[in-house]
Structure 1
Amino acid sequence: MKFSENWLREWTSPEWDTNTLSESLSLAGLEVDDVEPAAPSFSNVVVAQVVSVEKHPDADKLNITQVDTGDGELVQIVCGAPNVVAGMKVCCAKVGAVLPGDFKIKKAKLRGQPSNGMLCSTNELGLPDDGIDGLHVLPEDAPIGTDVREYFDLDDSCIDVDLTPNRADCFSVLGIARDVHAISGAQFSVPFEEKQMAGTETCSQAVVVKEAQACPKYLGAMVSGFDTNAETPVWMVQKLHRCGVRSLGLVVDITNYVLMELGQPMHAFDADKLQGDIQVRFANDGERIVTLDEKELQLKGDTLVIADDSGAIAVAGIMGGLATSVTDDTSKIFFESAHFARLAITGKARNYGLHTDSSMRFERGVDPMLPERALNRALDLFTSIAGGTVSQFVSEVSAENLPQIATINLRRDTILNRLGIEVADAQVVDIFNKLGFEIAANDQGWSVTAPSFRFDMAIEMDLIEEIGRVYGYNNLPETPVLAPMSLNELPEDEQSLIALKNTLVQRGFNEVVTYSFVAEDKQKAIAPELPYVLLKNPISEDMKAMRTTLFPGLLQSVAYNQNRQQSRVRLFEAGLVFYKDDSDATGAEQVPMLAGAIVGPVADASWHSTTRNVDFYDLKGDLESLLTMSHLQAHVRYEPTNNPALHPGQSAAIMLDGKEVGVIGQLHPQLVKTFDVNGNVFMFQIRQDAILNKQVPKASAISKFPEVQRDLAFVVQESVTVQALIDAINTVTSDILKSVDLFDIYRGQGVAEEHKSVAITLTLQHQDRTLQDEEVEALVAEILTAAKQAVNAELR
């Protein structure tokens, strides 16, 4: 919200300078982003009138003017502006004036003719561009000799306040003034006479509100017989400009002026262009409208519109339509002032790529009691400038659908507990009275009723915040905070996610944090089998789907690094994925995952060794380091999988106790171009709940008897996995078999085609005695039988 400081001081004017005012607003929760002067510094520039104009005898483009500056005698000034004519009033820099940029005006001769001053354009004074090629033309009633800074009220500051979403009541000079009055104690008064403008003639325009829940209040009035040539006064143009609003003509300027002054969005229709009754309804699917910015919209059925018999003529609370807009030829105007429910407007402007001052206010909330006041103010301004006759008001009000005013109990003890100070009862009452609240004492404190413009008041803590910010957070005493620390115990069987992350970091990984939203086409490409959730109001078109895997974000980060000459990339992310679930209140099941991706050389280049690129087993080793930390290595199995994100021949499902908890493998070659990565990217993803539980170590006595090792080489078919062979061996029940370890795989001479030799080391040991050869051989024979039966393994 940007506003003029002088305009604010018309409502309330504390004895503060601009810096103190800005600081006080920020401390009260209305953060001031910027303060800038209304105009650059210049001096000795006055309102003047050009009395006569003659051609310069020695220059075709110059004129010799005689100018009345109000000093009692005419001044000769040579001027090259193309629009200078006798009788016009202009800004004149007299001799001795200093213009922006420290440009000093002195007596001079131009082509032999004396010139005692300078006639100025807006650019030369640093004023808003008026679009005129030449001198800035002042109104005919501008008093000659008046200092231009005084005439334009240029000794002013423009203050820009960054408002939080709950303070929509401060999107107006009135709203800011109410807060300044409360925090400063300065007198507050309305700077204009509030009149009831409803006339005696019946309004010829009927209104029908079909959606009272979305539009509980709609007011309007007709104005006719006004001066169609009336222009916006200079003072209004200046105030609007200092609020960041440009002048667009009297009618639009007045609705914008009331918007900035009171905070009520309004609209004006050319009444002669309206066809039949005005209707407030939801749009028909596919209904079209051309808005004031000449953009054609195809409306959706949930969009509230203002319509007549011809169709939609305005998008309610957002923007009017071009077909019924006011023009220079308009002779009859219907002014609209309405209250629209927040939920009826929220998000609609963004759906159509629009953002207006009106939608911004209605989305955050507008005082439901304001439309009457705003309509009277707009009509008063219009008729005082352009004249005309005002009709009776047409009114449609649904009291039961208007926002209800909240009444909240405020306890003295809560003030002390939350703010750490005892605020006197009289001061509490005074604070809320200044803020416009109704307050009545009760046994524990007060019963406080919020005004209609403070729809953000809902609970007791909202009232505590009001006391704190008006009392002044900087006035609160410094009190040591007593906060006994209670550290949660980490059960011994629970693994720390931080410890797992540190393990990956120690293995050369870097953590990334990516958006939970991904492009819909990439979501479909990498996980086509999983239903996903679409956002109703995405940040952008390529962030509209909730991710069902962490892979898209990781791959985007890989591509980002590769595009910056980083060939060796090792990244991981811990975050949520979202599986569509209509039975859940949120519409999705949220599952914490841990994922990683590697690509490029195994290690950085070195003088003493050549390097190779990473492969499947490098990443499998990184994953197994995490499984080992949680003592899960012996329980995890890797089974072939056809995951659409991974290479069919280099991918595996991670199985834990017979349940799939993750996947690992190489990115599918068809997706390399989709995600704009280079080389073979290897990735894994595993559920966090699968690795955040670990086995508690159990102590056992160490055997003092020697181990016995037997090496066995099995010949199996190529399709048999090593894990299947080891599982077959482990089916043999024995209290002396301690471990089964793979130490070699051989293919070639001596082994039949489509077969392989798998060499296994068996480690055997008894706890209480030395093993005998007979029992070792018996166990080995049992193992050979189990391997033969399970996977048709033959001893080589």
Structure 2
Amino acid sequence: MKLSENWLREWTNPDWDSNRLAEELSLAGLEVDGIEPVAPAFNNVVVGHVLSVEKHPDADKLNVTQVDVGQGEPVQIVCGAKNVVAGMKACCAMVGATLPGDFQIKKAKLRGVSSNGMLCGASELGLPDDGVDGLHVLPNDAPIGMDVRDYLNLNDTVLEVDLTPNRADCLSVEGIARDVAAVANIAWQQPFENMMVAQQGACSVEIKVQEPALCPKYLGCVVTGFDTQANTPKWMQQRLQRGGLNPKNLMVDITNYVLLELGQPMHAFDLAKLTGAIQVRKAVAGEKLITLDEKELTLTDDTLIIADDNGPLALAGVMGGLHSAVSDTTQAIFFECAHFTPLSVVGKARAYGLHTDSSHRFERGVDAQLPERALARALALFTKIAGGQVSEVNAQISAELLPQVKPIALRPERIVKLLGAYIANDQVESIFKRLGFSIENQADGWLMTPPSYRFDMAIEADLIEEVGRIYGYNNLPETPVEAPVRLPSLPESEQELYGLKQALVQRGYHEVVTYSFVEEAKQAVLLPELPYVCLQNPISDDMKAMRTTLFPGFLNTIAYNQNRQQNRVRIFESGLTFVQIDGQVQQVPVLGGAIVGSKTPNSWAVTEPRVVDFYDLKGDVETLLGMSHLQNRVRFVPHEYTIFHPGQSAAIQLDGKTVGFMGQLHPKHAKLTGVSGKVFLFEIRLDALSTKLVPSANAISKFPEVQRDLAFVVDGELPVQALFDAVESVESSILQGVELFDIYRGQGIEPHQKSIALTLKIQHTERTLQDEEVEALVAQIIDLAAQKVQARLR
């Protein structure tokens, strides 16, 4: 939220400069993100009255002006602005003035004519663009000779306050002033009187609230007979601009001004464009509304709207409709001021692709007692500026449905427990009195009743937070924290996630953290075989679906890095995926990674860099499996996935159950995700890696090892692992290991076949082997290989 410091100081004025004010607000939990002066430094610029304008005798584009600057004699200034005319008021920089950019104004001669100053445009003074090509024109009633900084109220700063969602009460000048006064322990006061303007006659607009639970209070009145040519005063325009809002017309500006001042959203309808009664109701599915920003919406039946007999007029608490909007030709206005519950507004603006100052406040909560004050303030401002007659207020209030303030118990010992400091009872009471709470003393403490605007107060801890915030967290003493340290023992059979991460880091990976919500279109295209869940109120449209895999986040990260000339990317992440199983959403912890680019970093020693392939990624995955001693139980089974390139993907199976998958990104998905090159990805369930074998000691055999080399001819498509499984299925206590040492295709082998050469390691732990035992084992292995994978000796 942005606000003018001078406006704030009208409500409360602590003896602090701008920096101290920002610091105190931040320490009180209202973090100030920035302090910006409304205009750059300049001096000795006054309001000048141009008395005469004559053409320069030697320059067609220059004029010689006589300017009254309030010093008796007029000063002569040569000016080249196109819009300079006699009788206008303009900003005049006197001789000796310093303009932004340290530009000094001196006496000069322009084409032989003396010039004693400079008439200035907005850009030359660093003011907002006024859309004028030439001098910045001042109103006719601007006092001649007055310092422009004082006249335009430029000795001001804009504070940008970043509020947490629970402090919706501070989304106004009044709200921040209350907190400033409480922190500074000074008085604050409303700089205007709470007075309702004189009312004449009943309101001609009937109001029907059909959803009182969502709108327990709706006020409205009609204003007629006002000056349609009345403009928004300059002071009000300045405050709106410094609050981040653009002035439009008086009627809209009044509602925006009250929004910034008191925090109550309001709306003004053109009375001539209303038909029948105003209705606060749910939309009928399919109804249309064109909003003020000319966006056509198709409404759903869970949307609260303001309507008349002809249909929707506005999204309740969000934005008005274009059809009923006020304009320069509006002759009569219907002002509305309502209390909409957060439940009626939350998520609706985002669902329709909108975000407004009104929805921002109603979603977080607005004081239910504020509409009467806000409407009175708006009517007082409007009639003071434009005149007019105001009808009686038509108030539809369901008092039993309005938020009820509940007292909260507060105990002194609990304050000490949570804040770690003793704060005297009278100080505690003083803090809550300054915050507007009602206090009732009890035997064990107090019963605190928060004011209606502090709807964030619900439990005792909320009150204690207020004590610490106003007392000053920086004033709390430093207290050593003492707590027994009980380190849980990690079972030896449990694999730590940290160890798995370190293994990937040592292989050149970098850990990333990506969002758990992804773009629905990408989710549906990349992995249509995995059912996903969409959020009802997503943060944005491209974060609508809950991820079923880490891959969308990986691909976004790779694209981001590649767009910044980082072509070698190796990343991993551990996190949750969300899958639907039997209609229920389950969270599945997984570990995944992605690689693209060269296998090794660029180096003088690498003469021919090689691009990573499927087997590089498989080696990384096998490293993780090896840490848990699972390599003998895991199989990489060819499997087709939509996201992967055909023939370049595999399911990772543990004891026959799929626990992960890996492969090369399909080229058709590269454009969709914005990546380039061959991208390889893997993902495996963490529970499959979390258990490891406990090391056990075995005696080393004293007896010699026998090795036998066997070369088998098998089908060319047979995975090597299948042959290993066949060989290792032999029931023997003397077969200690099997190793692959050669794969051959070529002369002497049929084109559709290949030769796989294995080394058998045979050894007995208690005696020397006999030749007959070895030969019997080899024969058994040859038979099993022939039976299971149709292998024959080469």
**TM-score, shorter chain, exceeding 0.5:** yes
Pair 1:77–1:602, CA change in 2 (3 A): closer
Alpha-carbon shift at residue 324 of structure 1 (Å): 2.0
Specify the alignment match of 2:220 in structure 1: 220
Q: Does 1:640 align with 2:631?
A: no
Q: State which of 692, 705, 725 in structure 1 corresponds to 2:723.
A: 725
Specify the alignment match of 2:18 in structure 1: 18
| Percent of aligned pairs sharing the same letter | 63
Q: State which of 670, 692, 695 in structure 2 corresponds to 1:694.
A: 692
Specify the alignment match of 1:189 in structure 2: 189
Paired with 1:608 and 1:184, the residues of 2 have a C-alpha distance of 66
Pair 1:344–1:33, CA change in 2 (3 A): same
Pair 1:615–1:26, CA change in 2 (3 A): closer
Specify the alignment match of 1:392 in structure 2: 392
Alpha-carbon shift at residue 168 of structure 1 (Å): 1.5
Specify the alignment match of 2:328 in structure 1: 328
Whether the 8 Å CA contact 2:628–2:691 is kept in 1: the answer is yes
Q: Does 1:357 align with 2:357?
A: yes
Specify the alignment match of 2:757 in structure 1: 759
Alpha-carbon shift at residue 338 of structure 1 (Å): 1.0
Paired with 1:644 and 1:352, the residues of 2 have a C-alpha distance of 32
Paired with 1:783 and 1:627, the residues of 2 have a C-alpha distance of 27
- Structure 2 segments unaligned to the other structure (5+ residues): none
Whether the 8 Å CA contact 2:595–2:612 is kept in 1: the answer is no
SS in 1 for 2:430: helix
Q: Does 1:209 align with 2:223?
A: no
Paired with 2:558 and 2:113, the residues of 1 have a C-alpha distance of 73
**What is the identity, as a one-letter code, of the residue corresponding to 2:328?**
D
Q: State which of 765, 771, 774 in structure 2 corresponds to 1:776.
A: 774
Alpha-carbon shift at residue 540 of structure 1 (Å): 5.3
Pair 1:390–1:723, CA change in 2 (3 A): same
Paired with 1:229 and 1:294, the residues of 2 have a C-alpha distance of 25
Paired with 1:235 and 1:674, the residues of 2 have a C-alpha distance of 51
Q: What does residue range 73-88 of structure 1 map to in structure 2 within 5 Å? A: none
Whether the 8 Å CA contact 2:598–2:609 is kept in 1: the answer is no
Alpha-carbon shift at residue 425 of structure 1 (Å): 0.7
Deviates more, 1:65-74 or 1:397-406: 65-74
Q: What does residue range 141-220 of structure 1 map to in structure 2 within 5 Å? A: 141-144=141-144, 146-197=146-197, 199-220=199-220
Specify the alignment match of 2:8 in structure 1: 8
Pair 1:682–1:174, CA change in 2 (3 A): closer
Given the two structures, how large is their TM-score scaled by the length of structure 1? 0.90
Given the two structures, how large is their TM-score scaled by the length of structure 2? 0.90
Specify the alignment match of 1:514 in structure 2: 514
SS in 2 for 1:634: coil
Alpha-carbon shift at residue 635 of structure 1 (Å): 1.4
Alpha-carbon shift at residue 30 of structure 1 (Å): 1.4
Deviations 1:319-367 (A, max 9, x none): 2222222223222111111111223222333334433222222222211
Whether the 8 Å CA contact 1:597–1:684 is kept in 2: the answer is no
Deviations 1:359-387 (A, max 9, x none): 22222221111111000011111112222
Alpha-carbon shift at residue 525 of structure 1 (Å): 3.5
Deviations 1:498-529 (A, max 9, x none): 22222233333343443434444433333221
Deviations 1:99-149 (A, max 9, x none): 545556666777777766655554454444444455555555545554444
Whether the 8 Å CA contact 2:48–2:90 is kept in 1: the answer is yes
Pair 1:582–1:269, CA change in 2 (3 A): farther
Deviations 1:519-562 (A, max 9, x none): 44433333221112234455555544333223344344445555
Specify the alignment match of 1:619 in structure 2: 617
Paired with 2:686 and 2:426, the residues of 1 have a C-alpha distance of 56
SS in 2 for 1:196: coil
Whether the 8 Å CA contact 1:573–1:596 is kept in 2: the answer is no
Pair 1:701–1:120, CA change in 2 (3 A): closer
Paired with 2:45 and 2:609, the residues of 1 have a C-alpha distance of 77
Specify the alignment match of 2:495 in structure 1: 495
Paired with 1:107 and 1:747, the residues of 2 have a C-alpha distance of 95
Paired with 2:557 and 2:325, the residues of 1 have a C-alpha distance of 50
Paired with 2:16 and 2:483, the residues of 1 have a C-alpha distance of 39
Alpha-carbon shift at residue 423 of structure 1 (Å): 0.6
Pair 1:134–1:655, CA change in 2 (3 A): closer
Paired with 1:340 and 1:746, the residues of 2 have a C-alpha distance of 77
Paired with 1:188 and 1:608, the residues of 2 have a C-alpha distance of 72
Specify the alignment match of 1:653 in structure 2: 651
Paired with 2:129 and 2:751, the residues of 1 have a C-alpha distance of 88
Specify the alignment match of 1:432 in structure 2: 432
Paired with 1:156 and 1:554, the residues of 2 have a C-alpha distance of 47
Paired with 1:232 and 1:440, the residues of 2 have a C-alpha distance of 46
Whether the 8 Å CA contact 1:765–1:771 is kept in 2: the answer is yes
Whether the 8 Å CA contact 1:605–1:611 is kept in 2: the answer is no
Q: What does residue range 578-593 of structure 1 map to in structure 2 within 5 Å? A: 578-581=578-581, 583-584=583-584, 587-593=585-591
SS in 2 for 1:633: coil
Alpha-carbon shift at residue 756 of structure 1 (Å): 4.0
Deviations 1:403-434 (A, max 9, x none): 33243222212211221111111111110111
Alpha-carbon shift at residue 474 of structure 1 (Å): 1.6
Q: Does 1:664 align with 2:651?
A: no
SS in 2 for 1:231: coil
Whether the 8 Å CA contact 2:594–2:679 is kept in 1: the answer is no
Pair 1:169–1:710, CA change in 2 (3 A): same
Pair 1:206–1:764, CA change in 2 (3 A): same
Q: Does 1:577 align with 2:584?
A: no
Paired with 2:53 and 2:481, the residues of 1 have a C-alpha distance of 80
Whether the 8 Å CA contact 2:590–2:683 is kept in 1: the answer is no
Specify the alignment match of 2:595 in structure 1: 597
Q: Does 1:442 align with 2:442?
A: yes
Paired with 2:369 and 2:535, the residues of 1 have a C-alpha distance of 35
**What is the identity, as a one-letter code, of the residue corresponding to 1:4?**
S
Specify the alignment match of 2:706 in structure 1: 708
**What is the identity, as a one-letter code, of the residue corresponding to 1:654?**
I
